Amino acid sequence: MEHLRVTPGESDRSYGILIGSGNLDQLGAHLKQLDLASRLCLITNTTVGGLYGDRVRSILAEAGYAVSYIEVPDGEEYKSQTTAAAVYDRMVDAGIERGSAVVALGGGVVGDLAGFAAATYMRGVPLVQVPTTLLAQVDSSVGGKVAVNHARGKNLIGCFYQPRLVYADMKVLSTLPERELRAGLGEVIKYGMIRDAGLFGFLEQHLEQLLGLEPEILAETVRRSCAIKVEIVSEDEYEQGLRAILNFGHTIGHALETLTDYKVYRHGEAVAAGMAAAASLSVNRGCMDATDRDRLVSLLRRARLPVSCPYPPEQVMALLSHDKKVLRGRLRFIMPLSIGRVEICTGVKEQEILAALRQCRQ
């Protein structure tokens, strides 16, 4: 099993990321090392619950925990304040106390929603992330960003709240629908673009084996992606500087998700389209060589991820002003410079973004 350590700010809030294959049955034993209360709240969705809910309940019960089980509907549209309120009601009814941990079993939506509930219930109860999608294993479960969506923007209602443990079993990805696996690759490709040209080249060389869940290729991909995020989050927990580069592709990606009411794109698909648009913007500004942009677009296409923004550019642009990355009224854009290197840019003009979006409609 791979062990990584996140040390965000103060070392007393550090936590482990455990990555293995076939290690789900050991979850209870690892939780016992965290000195949690005997009652846990297991939060999942209807899809993951049908696959792993009973199994994880049994694993936790065998470890001596009393488990309160909450299932929420499956879908990004349910990552909302309404669903969070229903979760609070269930937690109160179950007698969840301050020492009772919330265990988030699922993908990015479940992790964000359950994490937000853990962060705000009784001013914060312990959180354990058990990610079951590629996107969640390499990205959303790590780093402490938890949130729910607002009608005018994604993740607008949230906070930074670090988990006590991230526990990933890559074997559960075997039940992941192919579209979800490909969507997770959007975030993996992002890591190569922002920080690791070697990882990007590895993905170009081994994409088919990765999509086939070849164990060694999958393990290397998840480990390297998590290691990049660990390094960044440990240096900049609250996104005051470096951590903003993790938002590459997300500015336009979030706008596309909001514009389509979270019903057209998976998150990684929207990020892919956002990365392609950002790369075109960078080429237009003379910041990035067109050959690097073409390599990115080619890899995204091979992964069958979107590389176009088919909606009116003015509609997308109207949503960008509500993006969380707006700072002092100016939109922060993550600009790719080459494969493995980006910069944070606040001088991008509206007309430049519109021009790139128009290119991406063609």
Is 250 labeled as catalytic in the residue annotation?
Answer: yes
Pick the catalytic residue from 71, 180, 239, 269.
Answer: 239
How many whole angstroms from its chain centre is CA 160? 14
| Structure tokens given for 338 | 């080459």
Instruction: Using DSSP bridges, classify how beta strands 66-72 and 39-45 pair: parallel, antiparallel or unpaired.
Output: parallel
Place of tokens 């607002």: 150
Pick the catalytic residue from 145, 224, 295, 324.
Answer: 145
Pick the catalytic residue from 247, 257, 266, 332.
Answer: 247
Is 322 labeled as catalytic in the residue annotation?
Answer: no
Is 254 labeled as catalytic in the residue annotation?
Answer: yes
CB environment 210-247: b (16+ within 10 A), e (fewer): bbebeeebbeebbbbbbbbbbebbbebbebeeebbbbb
What Å distances lie between residue 248 and 67, 152, 224, CA to CA?
A: 38, 20, 18
Is 23 labeled as catalytic in the residue annotation?
Answer: no
Pick the catalytic residue from 57, 79, 195, 250.
Answer: 250
Pick the catalytic residue from 195, 267, 293, 295.
Answer: 267
Instruction: Collapse the DSSP code of 150 into the 3-class scheme (helix H, G, I; strand E, B; otherwise coil) and give the result.
Output: strand
Is 267 labeled as catalytic in the residue annotation?
Answer: yes
Pick the catalytic residue from 79, 154, 224, 229.
Answer: 229
Pick the catalytic residue from 182, 224, 243, 324.
Answer: 243
- Could you tell me which residues come within 8 angstroms of residue 248 by beta carbon, excluding any fewer than 6 positions away? 190, 193, 194, 275, 278, 334, 336, 342
| Structure tokens given for 238 | 């609250």
Pick the catalytic residue from 187, 237, 257, 269.
Answer: 187
Pick the catalytic residue from 164, 224, 254, 324.
Answer: 254
How many whole angstroms from its chain centre is CA 291? 28
Any idea which residues carry the catalytic annotation? Answer: 123, 145, 187, 229, 239, 243, 247, 250, 254, 267
